[in-house]
Amino acid sequence: MSVTHALAADDSGLDVLLRQDPELAEILLAERRRQSTTLQLIAAENFTSPAVLAALGSPLANKYAEGYPGARHHGGCEIADVAERLAVERARDLFGAEHANVQSHSGSSAVLAAYAALLRPGDTVLALGLPYGGHLTHGSPANFSGRWFDFVGYGVDAETGLVDHDQVRTLARARRPKAIVCGSIAYPRHPDYAFFRDVADEAGAYLIADAAHPMGLVAGGAAPSPVPYADIVCATTHKVLRGPRGGMILCGSELAERVDRAVFPFTQGGAQMHTIAAKAVAFGEARTPAFAAYARQVVANARTLAAHLAAEGFVVTTGGTDTHLITVDPAPLGVDGRTARGLLAAAGIVLDCCALPHADARGLRLGTAAVTTQGMGEREMRTVATLLAGVLRGATDPAAARAAARDLAAEFPPYPG
Ligand SMILES: Cc1ncc(COP(=O)(O)O)c(C=O)c1O
């Protein structure tokens, strides 16, 4: 079964822009060229379907709709209400949740709303520390989370790179947090949700799963679901889930009203109805057998890529991956992560730096969601690993590497036609 979109080019929107505002149209075309002539290995990115893009560019972009279906602060919301109800219903069905809120503008605002629903300023929260892959919203001093709450960070085992469960339990017993957060921007393994539930119950804490990264794998049946375990699940809709940029929150019915009020009116104003419509499209796509095949292929590709990177000399954190995401230390190839990212960008290979557990140097974070949407498989992952290693060792000339990346991308265009 094909894991790619049934893509068809639809340039009608760009045609209008080319006539009316060629300056901006050229910028958009340049970005499309960039995306289709380089390799996108940023773990948080993907290529949405033309149907998702169509919903984003639809007249619902014009509609103001503060509030919730049936209880809006604006007139003329009867169609918007139907769209939001459909998105909510699809999200609940897809993830087996009693309640879904699909209004969060981003993953960060979903996390903010989850905290607002459950916590008071000053409350203690236990989360994966930022040096080990915690997100900004998990206690960074530069973010509302670190400023308004008392975050305590747990870490990962120095040998295995796996979450240190003993430390989590010890910290929970000692600090009695009001909430425990599991989820990360750079952890390549599945959190043990049953373990976190048990620790939270013992400490009398809420459990918040920030599943921004793996929620698409959950939708496709390729990762365990946090829904049966967490009080609140936060997610983005734009990573493996392949929807529009945005967030969502899932919870049981007992927290539904608190979550809804935490999103609107506490942290947001008007819902972005075009994005909510696009979320509905993505949820609809994610319940198909083709999406399940896609999710499985994303993980198979990541495992293969991790194995070939290890064979090329990269140190792969935790020794591999269960997800779409891999983190590696390129030091054995003679470069640190920051230098490596620059060299690879020059060669047309786009990825991120990340913190490496228990190390000062930066590593590299890669993901297979986008390249898998393009239709690449395990054979291509081997080519990608060889290309990366060649560039970083200085064995492959940057111009030759760029041509190889361009050729591979051309073989698997994200939007054929
Ligand atoms: C674990 C986690 N939480 C929250 C977010 C925030 O999402 P956004 O960038 O949409 O605010 C991210 C984004 O990468 C994430 O990985």
Which residue intervals of 96-192 are DSSP H helices?
107-118, 144-148, 165-175
Q: What value does the mean pLDDT take over residues 402-408?
A: 97
- CA 396 / ligand 1 centre spacing (Å): 34
pLDDT of 8 reads: 46
pLDDT of 12 reads: 58
- CA 266 / ligand 1 centre spacing (Å): 20
pLDDT of 4 reads: 64
255: left (phi over 0), alpha (psi -120 to 50) or beta: alpha
What's the helix, strand, coil split of the chain in %, to 5? 50, 15, 35
Looking at the predicted structure, is the pLDDT value of residue 9 above 60?
Answer: no
Q: What value does the mean pLDDT take over residues 258-286?
A: 98
Looking at the predicted structure, is the pLDDT value of residue 2 above 70?
Answer: no
Instruction: Report the atom number in ligand 1 closest to the C-alpha of 185.
Output: 16
Which of helix, strand or coil describes residue 127? strand
Mutate to test the pocket of ligand 1, among 236, 239, 267 (most ligand atoms within 8 A of CB): 236
Which residue intervals of 162-272 are DSSP H helices?
165-175, 193-203, 215-219, 256-261
63 catalytic per annotation? no
Looking at the predicted structure, is the pLDDT value of residue 340 above 50?
Answer: yes
pLDDT of 11 reads: 53
210 catalytic per annotation? yes
Share above pLDDT 90 across residues of the chain, in percent, rounded to a whole number? 93
Q: What value does the mean pLDDT take over residues 236-257?
A: 98
Average pLDDT of the chain, as a whole number:
96
pLDDT of 362 reads: 94
Q: Catalytic pick from 32, 92, 175, 245? A: 245
Type of residue at 21: D
Looking at the predicted structure, is the pLDDT value of residue 153 above 50?
Answer: yes
- The structure's pTM equals 0.96
Q: What value does the mean pLDDT take over residues 279-284?
A: 98
- CA 108 / ligand 1 centre spacing (Å): 6
Instruction: Report the atom number in ligand 1 closest to the C-alpha of 111.
Output: 4
pLDDT of 91 reads: 98
- pLDDT tens column, 34-85: 999 999 999 999 999 999 999 999 999 999 999 999 999 999 999 999 999 9
Q: Is the CB of 387 under 6 A from ligand 1?
A: no
- pLDDT tens column, 323-333: 999 999 999 99
- 279 within 8 A of 243, measured Cβ to Cβ: yes
**255 DSSP assignment:** G
